[in-house]
Structure 1
Amino acid sequence: MTGLTATAPDETDLGDVPDRKPALTRWLVIGAAALVAIVLALSLLAVTDNGNNKSAAVPTADSADAGFARDMAVHHQQAVEMAYIVRDRTTDEDVRRLAYDIAQTQANQRGMLLGWLSLWNLPVTSPDGYMTWMPMGHMSHQMKDGSLMPGMATNTELNQLGKLNGKQAEILYLQLMYDHHMGGIDMARTCAEQCAVPQEKKLAQGMVDAQQSEMKVMADLLRERGSAPR
Structure 2
Amino acid sequence: MTVTRTQWAAAAAVFVALLFAGYATVSTAWGGEPAAQATPARESADAGFARDMSVHHQQAVELSFLVRDRTQDEEVRRLAYDIANTQANQRGMMLGWLDLWGLPKVESGTEPMAWMDTSGGENGGQHGGGHSGHGSGAAPKQQEGALMPGMATPAELERLNKLSGKQAEILYLQLMIDHHKGGVHMAQGCADRCTVDVERKLAQGMVDAQQSEIGLMTELLKKRGAAPRP
Q: TM-score, normalised by structure 1?
A: 0.85
Tell me the percent identity: 58
Shift of 1:31: 4.3
Alignment-derived partner of residue 130 in structure 1: 112
- 112-121 or 34-43: bigger deviation: 34-43
- 169-178 or 82-91: bigger deviation: 82-91
Alignment-derived partner of residue 217 in structure 2: 218
- Answer 1 or 2: which has greater helix percent: 2
| Correspondence 1:45 to 2:26 | no
Matching residue within 63, 67, 91 for 1:82: 63
SS in 2 for 1:227: coil
CA distance in 2, matches of 1:139, 1:204: 17
Instruction: Summarize the alignment of residues 141-180 of structure 1 with structure 2, pairs less than 5 Å apart.
Output: 141-180=140-179
Alignment-derived partner of residue 63 in structure 1: 44
5+ residue gaps, structure 2: 119-135
CA contact (8 A) 1:55 1:196 kept: no
Alignment-derived partner of residue 117 in structure 1: 98
CA contact (8 A) 1:55 1:197 kept: no
CA distance in 1, matches of 2:147, 2:225: 30
CA contact (8 A) 2:71 2:164 kept: yes
CA distance in 1, matches of 2:188, 2:166: 32
| Correspondence 1:54 to 2:36 | no
CA contact (8 A) 2:139 2:149 kept: no
Q: TM-score, normalised by structure 2?
A: 0.85
SS in 2 for 1:207: helix
Shift of 1:65: 0.1
Alignment-derived partner of residue 226 in structure 2: 227
RMSD after superposition? 1.6
CA distance in 1, matches of 2:168, 2:50: 30
Instruction: Summarize the alignment of residues 202-217 of structure 1 with structure 2, pairs less than 5 Å apart.
Output: 202-217=201-216
Shift of 1:191: 0.4
Which amino acid counterpart does residue 33 of structure 2 have in structure 1? Answer: K
CA distance in 2, matches of 1:117, 1:123: 7
Alignment-derived partner of residue 125 in structure 2: none
CA distance in 1, matches of 2:70, 2:40: 42
